[in-house]
Amino acid sequence: MSIGVTAGGGRANRYQVQRIPLDKVAKLKFFSQRNDIRALKVKDFKARCRALRNNPESEIYLLSLADQQILLLLVANSLFKAQTYIDILLLSELAKQAEVEAALAEFIYKQSLNEVIINSPFSLKLDGLTKVFKALEGSFLYHSYKENFNPEQNRIIRRGEWYLVMRFNRSADALTGLYLLAEGQSCPELLQPIFEAQGLLNQAGKIQLLPNYCDQRRRLEPLQSQVETEITEYLSGNRQDFNLPYELPVDAGEFQLKVWQELAKIPYGSYCTYEEIARRIVDPAEANKYGRAVGAACSANPLMLILPCHRVLGQGGELRGFMTGVKTKAWLLDHELLRYR
């Protein structure tokens, strides 16, 4: 991949973009020693440096203001020809969110990266990025999921200690989202609008279990009853496969779709690793470079259980991130007789 170097990046050279050669990646550690920088843990940073040396398709960029104030350090890695994965390694404590969003938007736009997945270990919220990017007349894949989220096309039911969120298309004849969440966990940003509307979030933003909760809105039939029946059977151990119609996002990238197709093939009661998924999609000799990209596609999976991303583990069987929490992932694996809790 060759993204190229943009001098100035923004209007009137507002943002500076510096590409850092891969052979100097080890020298980046000096950034993490500054008090005004949030960085990965040392062991995670070293692991990322090792991965970069083995991945010639990765490019490192330092984004800063014209006055040399550092905003963030990122790695850009192409996934096929249309999609780019951006991993944020360092983030300035002094930078305002609006500046970070504007710099990222300019970077994405200037490099003509129309399909982008952004990963940040610093809980960086990019609520305004889509708006900024639209002003530049661009498109932004990853955050379009939040933008298109309509609480009125969703329903919530309670099943024991769980809340099941069902997202339907406009005609209510296919699922476009399915999520399982437990009491006390932080609510994913994508699902906050519907949980807030139903009064299911406490002051700390965590999900609270209301004993007599019932979604009083009109049921979206007949599909809602079918979903409720099949998920209830699954949770009680009486169902292993689902017969539910669903639609995938029309703006999903090629790599995401390929990962999701592989997820659908993982049988109940079994599991595989992120690298094994990658081997089925890309050249097996290059698969070790795509583990994180597979993880990003899994985290964007809109149909839990139907596309069982909880059955994908790290090397050695360790649990990795999960949209509705690692504890939920462990419970699902345990429920399917995989003792990885």
**Which entry of 49, 187, 298, 309 is annotated as an active-site residue?**
309
Look up 309 and say whether it is catalytic: yes
| In contact, 151 and 119? CB cutoff 8 Å | no
Number of helices (H), then strands (E), in the chain: 10, 11
User: 162 to each of 49, 165, 261, 321, how far by Cα in Å?
Assistant: 40, 10, 27, 19
> Token digits for 164?
């099941």
Query: ∠ CA 292-39-100 to the nearest 5 degrees?
Result: 85
| In contact, 30 and 20? CB cutoff 8 Å | no
Q: Which of 34, 3, 44 is nearest to 20 (CA)?
A: 3
Q: Beta strand pairing status for 312-313 and 272-273? A: parallel
Give the residue numbers annotated as catalytic, written as ranges. Answer: 309
